[in-house]
């Protein structure tokens, strides 16, 4: 006899009829799970927003330093200001998408929004994260290549 826990039989399914939908208990449990997901997403979204606010404060102090330097180290300060701005975009955009996904999950749990809209918000968040990760990995690899080839080029002279 085959002992496959993943095989679908009438004993291990929640539904007794193929045309029957989920029971009220299943919907209540799903709503609780969606609320829990929304809470965690909101928590991490607020952490991301807090880090973006700290980054913006750092950018303001950096800009004040560059303007106060009067040209001494001003170009380096502007470069680091630009880097702060890119990092702010890299953190800020996924944070906004995460907060929207959290709101969408909360609305879906209260049956005020459809499941497809919630899934679309989740997909939007994760695709944004994927793009940011790919860009970041590309930058890391290019920096490592520049470091490696820069060191090997300087040692050959």
* Sequence spans of domains, the chain: 30-145
- Give the start-end residues of each E strand in the chain: none
Q: H or E stretch including 39?
A: helix 24-69
Q: What pLDDT does residue 154 have?
A: 65
Query: Which residues lie closer than 8 Å to 30 by C-beta, 6 or more apart?
Result: 22, 109
The secondary structure of residue 6, as a DSSP letter, is T
Q: What pLDDT does residue 79 have?
A: 73
| Contact (Cβ atoms closer than 8 angstroms) between residue 68 and residue 140 | no
Count of all residues that appear for the chain in the document? 157
User: Which of helix, strand or coil describes residue 45?
Assistant: helix
* Ramachandran angles phi, psi of 4, nearest 5°: -110, 110
Please classify residue 31 by burial: count the beta carbons closer than 10 Å to its beta carbon, then call 0-12 exposed, 13-18 middle and 19+ buried: middle
| Contact (Cβ atoms closer than 8 angstroms) between residue 13 and residue 21 | no
Tens-binned pLDDT, residue by residue, of the chain (157 aa)? 567 666 666 555 554 444 444 555 655 778 888 899 999 999 999 999 999 999 889 888 877 777 776 555 556 666 777 777 888 888 899 999 999 999 999 998 888 888 889 999 999 999 999 999 999 899 899 989 888 887 666 665 5
Distance from C-alpha of 81 to C-alpha of 67, rounded to nearest angstrom? 12
Q: What pLDDT does residue 73 have?
A: 57
């Amino acid at each position: 006899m085959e002992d496959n826990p993943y095989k679908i039989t009438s004993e291990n399914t929640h539904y007794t009829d193929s045309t029957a939908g989920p029971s009220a208990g299943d919907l209540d449990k799903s709503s609780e799970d969606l609320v829990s997901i929304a809470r965690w997403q909101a928590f991490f979204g607020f952490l991301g927003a807090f880090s973006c606010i700290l980054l913006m404060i750092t950018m303001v102090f950096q800009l004040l330093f560059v303007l106060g330097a009067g040209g001494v180290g001003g170009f380096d300060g502007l470069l680091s200001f630009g880097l702060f701005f890119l990092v702010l975009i890299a953190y800020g955009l996924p944070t906004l998408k995460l907060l929207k996904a959290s709101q969408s999950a909360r609305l879906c749990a209260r049956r005020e929004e459809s499941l497809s809209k919630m899934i679309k918000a989740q997909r939007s968040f994760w695709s944004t994260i994927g793009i940011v990760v790919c860009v970041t990995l590309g930058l890391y690899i290019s920096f490592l290549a520049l470091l490696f080839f820069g060191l090997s080029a300087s040692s050959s002279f």
